[in-house]
């Protein structure tokens, strides 16, 4: 009986070890970060035009998902807001096993979210990590109203959830003392994304190392509710945050830009490394 139990235990440990090992090994067929971003940009254009192709959603894909390692398929880890107006797989015209999505109010990057991102980057092996905010974000608006003294009482668990957004809003208010509420919200949405990326770099040595080595490309983006388009934020600022974190700096809020944020518009995805040829079009398979 003891031998049987020991055998079962050994088999269980072997299975668990094998599963983790499989999830940790990058797929040789994964596209480059540039191609991933190009594909996401093309998919977003489909969505904004109302021309979704709904790739990877047929019966074959469903069956494949039930018996496959997602680490061989998913190409982007995305931290996004939980608002119902931002269905991540739809706005990028994705399907099963395309995206490793982490949704939380205000797309905050705290321990749980960063830990989930580490899993996506280090075990699902996505070549891209995106922090995706969106216009008219309810969480950022609520924090902005509170900072401006116009907030209202919230349920017990919401304040600690959105607390990480407060420094981003306060940094905007400090930089622009006469800012209007609408402008404060708009600027804070972007500041919150930069702060989230900075938190990821300072609090996750694993992601920081992969970003520094080029194994993962970290990107900030804003989804516009009115146009349906995603605006990619400057890669240079991500690089600056990575350099700052690598130099042992603290995780104080990123100073907001002195200029107004540009209006959302269709644009090419930021280049990750060397220029790559255009990504292949979506196809169901």
Adjacent-strand bridge partners of 103: 80
The rounded distance, in Å, linking the Cα atoms of 279 and 192 is 30
Please state the domain count of the chain: 1
Give the three-class secondary structure for 127: coil
pLDDT exceeds cutoff 50 at 63: yes
pLDDT exceeds cutoff 60 at 273: no
The rounded distance, in Å, linking the Cα atoms of 253 and 218 is 18
pLDDT exceeds cutoff 60 at 57: yes
What is the predicted pLDDT for the residue at 21?
Answer: 33
| Contact by Cβ (8 Å): 93, 55 | yes
CATH number, domain at 194?
3.40.1050.10
List, as own/partner pairs, every contact residues 142-148 make where C-beta atoms lie below 8 angstroms and the sequence separation is at least 24, other chains included.
Answer: 143/106, 143/169, 143/188, 144/169, 144/181, 144/184, 144/185, 144/188, 145/181, 147/173, 147/184, 148/173, 148/181, 148/184
For residue 269, tell me if it sits in a domain.
no
For residue 21, tell me if it sits in a domain.
no
Residue 134: which of 103, 173, 112 has the closest Cα? 103
Residues 6+ apart with CB under 8 A from 208: 200, 201, 202, 242, 245, 246
Measured in degrees and rounded to the nearest 5, phi and psi for residue 271 equal -75, 135
For residue 132, tell me if it sits in a domain.
yes
Residues 6+ apart with CB under 8 A from 196: 79, 107, 108, 109, 131, 164, 220
For residue 255, tell me if it sits in a domain.
no
pLDDT exceeds cutoff 80 at 80: yes
Q: Where do we find the tokens 């996401």?
A: 40
For residue 189, tell me if it sits in a domain.
yes
- 211-236, pLDDT tens digit by residue? 999 999 999 999 999 999 999 999 99
For residue 163, tell me if it sits in a domain.
yes
- 149-201, pLDDT tens digit by residue? 998 888 999 999 999 999 999 999 999 999 999 999 999 999 999 999 999 99
| Contact by Cβ (8 Å): 41, 282 | no
State the CB neighbour count (10 A cutoff) for residue 239.
12
For residue 195, tell me if it sits in a domain.
yes
What is the predicted pLDDT for the residue at 282?
Answer: 43
* Residues above pLDDT 70, as percent of the chain: 77
The rounded distance, in Å, linking the Cα atoms of 241 and 220 is 12
State the pTM of this model.
Answer: 0.80
For residue 242, tell me if it sits in a domain.
yes
Mean per-residue pLDDT for 69-86?
A: 97
Whole domain around residue 86: which residue ranges? 30-246
């Amino acid at each position: 009986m003891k031998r049987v139990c020991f055998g079962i235990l050994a088999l269980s440990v072997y299975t668990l070890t094998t599963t983790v090992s499989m999830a940790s090994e990058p797929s040789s067929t994964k596209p480059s970060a540039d191609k991933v971003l190009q594909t996401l940009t093309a998919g977003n254009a489909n969505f904004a035009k109302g021309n979704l192709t709904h790739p990877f959603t047929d019966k074959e894909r469903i069956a494949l998902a039930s018996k496959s390692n997602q680490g061989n398929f998913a190409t982007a880890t995305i931290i996004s807001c939980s608002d119902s107006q931002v269905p991540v797989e739809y706005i990028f015209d994705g399907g099963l096993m395309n995206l490793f999505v982490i949704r939380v109010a205000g797309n905050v990057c705290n321990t749980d979210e960063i830990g989930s991102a580490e899993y996506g980057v280090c075990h699902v092996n996505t070549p891209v990590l995106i922090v995706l905010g969106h216009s008219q974000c309810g969480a950022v608006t609520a924090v902005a109203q509170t900072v401006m003294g116009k907030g209202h009482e919230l349920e017990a668990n919401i304040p600690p959830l959105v607390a990480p957004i407060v420094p981003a809003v306060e940094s905007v208010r400090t930089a622009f003392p006469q800012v209007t509420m609408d402008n404060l919200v708009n600027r804070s949405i972007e500041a919150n994304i930069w702060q989230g990326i900075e938190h990821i770099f300072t609090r996750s040595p694993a992601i920081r190392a992969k970003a520094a080595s080029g194994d993962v490309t970290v990107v900030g983006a804003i989804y516009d509710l009115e146009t349906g388009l995603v605006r990619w934020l400057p890669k240079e600022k991500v690089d600056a945050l990575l350099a700052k974190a690598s130099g042992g700096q603290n995780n104080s809020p990123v100073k907001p830009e002195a200029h107004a944020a540009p209006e959302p518009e269709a644009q090419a995805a930021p280049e990750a490394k060397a220029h790559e040829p255009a990504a292949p079009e979506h196809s169901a398979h």
